[in-house]
Structure formats: structure tokens, C-alpha cells
Amino acid sequence: MTTELTVLTLAALLQFAQFLVYSALANKQVGPKKALGPRDTKIELAGYAGRAQRAMNNHFEGLILFTIAVFVVTLGGQSTGFTQGCAWVYLIARVLYVPAYLMGLTPWRSVIWCFGIGATVLMLLAALV
């Protein structure tokens, strides 16, 4: 397995961990009856639960592009030390992004996000060279 695929697997596990954190915080905020209910009306989460939900959704968006980058690099036989480094930068940025978002660290949350998306774009560009 390439380094990029290993990092993609770890990023997927991070997404699952984010889901667990979000679920626990949301359940604590709205209570199990509402959390397990049919959700016919939209539930607006606030505070840590809302931030955890938004951070998780943001990772879903970033994970789509990162997955494309990993597949292009891997299937194209373009894995290099550079693309491997970019993959690790993406994962480290995503790991740091979660607490930065939960703690409301402005502008650091956005700076961290830029590192992650930048690493993904660089992987895609490297695959074209």
C-alpha cells in the first residue's frame, strides 16, 4: 500500500472519530429522545456541538478532494516523496483543525485549513507533472 493510501485510511478513521465526538456532544446538548427521534424539524446545534458538526462536515468536503488526489497519484504511479509529504501535511492539518475549530481559534483554524487544502492541490498538480 502506498503512503498516500495509508494516510487516506488514517484520514477516514479521523473522520469517524470526529463523528463520535460530534454525536456525543450533540446527544448531550439535545438529549437522547431528540437525538434518536425522526428529526422532522431541523435541530440547530450551538456551542461545541455545533462546531463539532461543522468541523466534521468540513472534513467530508476536504476528504473528497484528498481522496481524488490520492487515487490520481496512486493509480497514475506518481507517488513520490513530495506527494507522500503532502499527504502527511493534509492529515496533520486535519488533526489540528478539529481542536482549533472546537476552541474557536480565529484565524488559526483558517490557516490550518489552508495548509490541508494546499497540500491536496499540490498533490493533484504533482500528478500532472
- Report the amino acid identity of residue 64: I
Distance from C-alpha of 123 to C-alpha of 119, rounded to nearest angstrom: 6
Is 10 part of a structural domain of the chain?
A: no
Residue 5 CB-density burial (10 A; 0-12 exposed, 13-18 middle, 19+ buried): middle
Is 67 part of a structural domain of the chain?
A: no
Picking from 54, 126, 52, the residue whose alpha carbon sits closest to that of residue 89 is 126
Residue 50 φ then ψ, to 5°: -65, -45
Query: Which residue range forms the structural domain that includes residue 99?
Result: 73-129
Is 123 part of a structural domain of the chain?
A: yes
Is 98 part of a structural domain of the chain?
A: yes
Is 38 part of a structural domain of the chain?
A: no
Is 88 part of a structural domain of the chain?
A: yes
Is 27 part of a structural domain of the chain?
A: no
Number of domains in the chain: 1
Residue 34: pLDDT band (50, 70, 90) is confident
pTM here is: 0.93
pLDDT in tens, 94-122: 999 999 999 999 999 999 999 999 999 99
Residue 53: pLDDT band (50, 70, 90) is very high
Is 78 part of a structural domain of the chain?
A: yes
Distance from C-alpha of 62 to C-alpha of 94, rounded to nearest angstrom: 9
